[in-house]
Every structure is written in C-alpha cells, then in structure tokens.
Amino acid sequence: MLKLFRYLKPYWIFALLAPLFMLIEVIMDLMQPKFLEKIIDEGIQRGDISYITRTGLIMVLIALIGMVGGVGSTVFSSIASRNFGFDLRNDLFRKVQAFSFKNIDKFKPATLITRLTNDVVQIQELVMMLLRIVVRAPLLCIGGIIMAVMINARLAAILLFAIPFLIAIFYIMVKKSLPLFSAVQSKIDRVNAVMRENLLGVRVVKAFVRHEHEKTRFFNANEELMDISLKAFGLIVFTMPLFMLIMNFSIVAVIWFGGLQVKAGTMQVGEIMAFINYMTQILFSLIMVGNIFLFITRASASAKRINEVLETDIDIKDKADADRSPIVYGKVEFRNVTFYYDENDSEPAIEDVSFVANPGETVAIIGTTGAGKSTLVSLIPRLYDATKGDVLIDGKNVKDLDLKVLRESIGIVLQESLLFTGTVKENISWGKEDASIEEIVEAAKAAQAHDFIMGFPDGYDTVISERGVNLSGGQKQRLSIARAILKRPKILILDDCTSAVDMATEKKIQMALRKYMKGTTTFVIAQRISTVKDADKILVMDSGKIVASGTHDELLRTCSIYQEIYNSQFGEGEAQDA
C-alpha cells in the first residue's frame, strides 16, 4: 500500500495542512474539560456567576477555534485525497491502455472496471481518513492520558485495565477481517461480470427468453456478495458493543473510585467530571484507531489489486532503440511463426507458418472455425507477439518497430464491429481526427455507408448510441470499414467484416476498396468463397497451420479443404464446372 502514497507527493502542501489544522482541533478539545472542571469547582460551588459566564465564553471561543481547525482539516484532506484518487485512476487507465491482448486476457474487463472504480475509491477514502483521524486519534489519546494523569494518577490506573482489552479486540478483528475483505472485492468483481454480460447480451437474453436464468445468475452472485459482506462487517457489529461495554465499565469505575476520593476529600467533583471527559476521549480515540485499522485492512485488499495492475509487466512494448521510420511499402512476411496464447498450452494456436504478402497484394485467409485465422493477422500489428519465428514488414521485424508507427500504418476491422458513443462523423474519423468532411464522405462511400448515413435525419451528425445499438449489424460493419480505410494505411486487415452485409453490397465494397486502397497490402479473412475468390493469394488454414495456398482456381483443383468449403456454398456441380 505504501507504494501508492507517491501519488500524494504533488499535493504535499494540502497533505501537511490537513493534520496541522487537525492538531488545532485536538488541542482545543483537550482544553475543554479543564475549563469544565473550573466552572464546577470554582464557579458553581462558590456561586460566582460572572466567573461561570467568562469561562463559558472562553469555552465557546475554544469550540469555534476547534471548528475552524476541523473544517480546515476536512477541506485540505479532501483536496489531497481527491487529487490522489484522480491521478491514481488516470495512471491505472493509462496502464490498461498499454496492455497487450494477453494482459487483458489475464485480468478480464469486469475486474479491471472494479479496480478502476471501487478499489480506487477505497484507497482514496483511506487517504482522507489517514490525514484526519490518524492525527486526531493518537494525539487525542496521548493528550487525554497526560491530562488524566495530571488530574489524578491513581484514578488513571483504570486505563491500564481498559486499554489492553481494546488492543486485544483490535488485533483479533484485523486478523480475521483481512481475508474477508479480499473476498468481498472478488465478489464485487463477480457481480460486475454478471451484470456486464447481461447488459451486453440483453438482446440475446430476450430472444431466448432467458430472463429467469439471468435473474438466477445475478441473484446467486449478489447473494454470495451479501453473505461475505455480512461476515466481514459482522466483525464490526460484534466488536462495537464490546468497545462500548469496556468504555461504560471504565466510566462506572471512575465514578465509583472517584466518588470514594471525593468523600475522603482528596478529589473534587469538577475533577471527576473532567476525568470522565478525558476518559471518554481516550477510549473513543482508541475506537477510532480500531476503525482505522479495519479500514486499512479493507483498503489493503484494494491496494493489492491495484498494484497487481500497475506492476504487471507489459509483454508488448517498444524497445529503447525502436525503429521510428515510417512503413513505406507494406510487404508482410511470416517466417516459421509459431504462437501460443499461454506458455502452458500443450498445442500452439499458430504452428510453423511461413508466407509472403507483397506490396499491394490482396491475401485472403479461409478455413474452418478455430483454425487460427484471426490469431494469425493479430500478430501483424503486435496485438500478440509470436512465440517463435519472425513477422516482418518491409524486411524489418515488427518487434523492432515503434508501436505507434507500426499501428498507425495498419488499418484493422475486427470481427466485432465496435462503435463508440458520438456522431457518425466522429466514429469514422476516430483513427484520423484531423480528417476533413470530404475525406470522411469519400471513405464512407468506399465502404458503401454514405447512402444509409444520408438517410438519417442528421446525416453525418447523427449520434450513435453506446456500442452502436441503434444501427444494424451491416451498418456497423460498413462504418468500421470506413474508419479503418480513412487513414489510407499501408496494410489493411479485414477480419470477417462483411458477414452481416448482403452479397451485392459486399461486391460493391470490394470493387470500391480496390480503387480506394490501391497499393495497400490487404488481408481478408472470410467464410464466403465469394469474398476471397478474387484475391491475389488465398491461404487455407486448418488447426493453426497453412495447409495450402494459391489462387482460387489452383485451390479448387488441389486443396480438399477448399473444395469442401466451396461445395458447401455452391454445390458439387459448380465446383466441377469451375
């Protein structure tokens, strides 16, 4: 947890002022019982109204000064803790943005969301508490003990019995609560995951009438969270009455033994009242310390989860001497490439793949589901890194290239067409923010998106809902294509991105892209033969290997897998004619 406190450094002035103002409040609080003692022993017993009035006004002034200290401490600790949380959350987000796909696969989106929100809030609140209560509680406790001993050292011996009991309770509470609060955060992850899946798949849920199933899933996840929360916070519910019992016994003991001393004439009533006030301050400050330890226990679980993200080694990053020269031609070469998603996997996702895509060529990749087509092209922009072998662009290993330069030279349309909240124009220009409206329209026309965009009431200023839920699958795919081609990359990857488009529109997109993206090396992953048959080269994949390559006509004659796919779509008669 201490590693995270470096985020307080820029706000050290506020972090310093908060405890200083709290010190003022503590001093004022410690002064009040002494004046109360004087009012009782000197004012009330003598019937001196003027003395009572003067001392009462002094107590009011002291209370006001204490209030200023308390308010100042709250303000400065709030500024420091909120800025601390702001910077920590930004750093976490930047770290996640730098993650490779492998890193994201490790954490999962639901737990990352919890760490960026709930866990950061826990640490932020702890910082605020530390700047206020960690100063207030020890000073109030130590000051209270000193003042109590000054009033009556013999009576202060009662504290020797009360304090050890409180410390023992604190120790047991902290020891038992740490694993429970870690479990609470994990259960919050689970609730977020179920809720996220349900919201993203709400159409599927409704289509399959799975409302009750989803309600049960959420109920179970929510019940698990409730159960573990009750166990964790049950410790607080159980220990607080014990704290109060010890405090009340201590006050009764003070009144009992103090009363005996008053009767013996060795102590005055005002001193007993002051002593009880100090006793209350001491015991309440110890309870505050216990609450701090409890909160630290909970926050330490959050800190551990945050540090896991911040300390994760990003496996795909720039070398110190990364090549920042731009990609000129777009020649892509795979040399004996093998890739494992996890080093513990028994079978590779890609095995010993070699091929060359010359500048301006269209290379199509086809094969059965799970053959490794998408995984193969994800190695080009380094979404994953090859485990063995080399991926080269213009003769340079992609691992030697600057990531920003590499990815700016590659346009990619993934299988899932993801759009962002904003206008159509903003979504198309997402990869090239300085694009003119003419460039945006030209890219939309090439992607066969212009006509349906102009059919919207606001045209290119039409607002797209989150994840593009107000668009059809084909519309989202065409907008995604427009977004990828707008920057005219040297390499274009189209990963099954016309599956929701009718064949006539798909044909128009292909013809337009040949003209618009002339000179660009294009990789097309598809299930339809009609999509790939005009490619310069077709790679046929099966179980992570390239089992054949060639043109459409060549593969129809020589590759049984390609023939099988063709026959399933066009029939054996057409295959024989071809």
Q: Give me the tens of pLDDT residue by residue for the chain, a chain 578 residues long.
A: 678 888 998 999 999 999 999 999 888 988 888 888 888 878 787 778 888 888 889 999 999 999 999 999 999 999 999 999 999 999 999 998 888 888 887 887 778 888 888 889 889 988 998 888 877 888 888 888 888 888 888 888 888 888 888 788 777 777 777 777 778 877 887 887 888 777 767 767 767 777 788 888 888 888 888 888 888 777 767 777 887 888 788 888 888 888 888 888 777 888 888 888 888 888 888 778 777 777 777 788 788 888 988 988 888 888 888 999 999 999 999 999 999 988 777 889 999 999 999 999 999 999 888 889 999 999 999 999 999 999 999 999 999 999 999 999 999 988 788 888 889 999 999 878 888 999 999 999 999 999 999 998 899 999 887 777 778 888 898 999 999 999 889 999 998 888 778 888 888 888 888 888 888 999 999 888 888 888 999 999 998 999 999 999 999 999 988 998 888 887 654 444 44
Domain presence at residue 113: yes
Domain presence at residue 387: no
Q: Which residue has the tokens 């002094």?
A: 58
Range of the domain at 257: 2-310
The total number of structural domains in the chain stands at 1
Helix, strand, coil percentages for the chain (3-state, nearest 5): 70, 10, 20
Q: How many Å apart are CA 298 and CA 289, to the nearest integer?
A: 14
Tell me which H or E stretch contains 410: strand 410-413
Chain-centroid distance, C-alpha 434: 30
How much is the pLDDT for 174?
72
Domain presence at residue 267: yes
Q: CB–CB of 485/440 below 8 Å?
A: no
How much is the pLDDT for 91?
92
Domain presence at residue 115: yes
How much is the pLDDT for 261?
84
Which residue, 365, 362, 334, is CA-closest to 536?
362
Which residue, 476, 421, 470, is CA-closest to 448?
476
Q: How many Å apart are CA 208 and CA 199, to the nearest integer?
A: 15
How much is the pLDDT for 75?
94
Domain presence at residue 256: yes
Strand 422-423 vs strand 545-550: parallel, antiparallel, or unpaired? unpaired
Domain presence at residue 84: yes
Domain presence at residue 166: yes
* Single-letter residue type at 297: T
Which residue, 90, 155, 202, 551, is CA-closest to 362?
551
Strand 463-464 vs strand 422-423: parallel, antiparallel, or unpaired? antiparallel
Distances from the Cα of 247 to the Cα of 135, 260, 287, 290, angstroms:
22, 20, 10, 14
Residues 126, 130, 132, 136: what is their CA dihedral angle, to the nearest 10 degrees? 130
Beta strands in 305-372 (DSSP E): 332-339, 350-357, 362-367
First to last CA, the chain: 69
Q: How many Å apart are CA 49 and CA 38, to the nearest integer?
A: 12
Show Cβ contacts of residue 107 under 8 Å, excluding neighbours closer than 6 positions. 99, 309, 312
Written as six digits, the tokens of 323 are 């090549």
Chain-centroid distance, C-alpha 9: 23
CATH for 189: 1.20.1560.10
| Ramachandran quadrant class, 370 (left: phi over 0; alpha: psi -120 to 50; beta: rest) | left
How many residues comprise the chain? 578
SS (H, E, C) 109-169: HHHHHHHHHHHHHHHHHHHHHHHHHHHHHHHHHHHHHHHHHHHCHHHHCHHHHHHHHHHHH
Q: How many Å apart are CA 43 and CA 394, to the nearest integer?
A: 95
Show Cβ contacts of residue 560 under 8 Å, excluding neighbours closer than 6 positions. none
Domain presence at residue 129: yes
How much is the pLDDT for 204?
73
Q: CB–CB of 529/570 below 8 Å?
A: yes
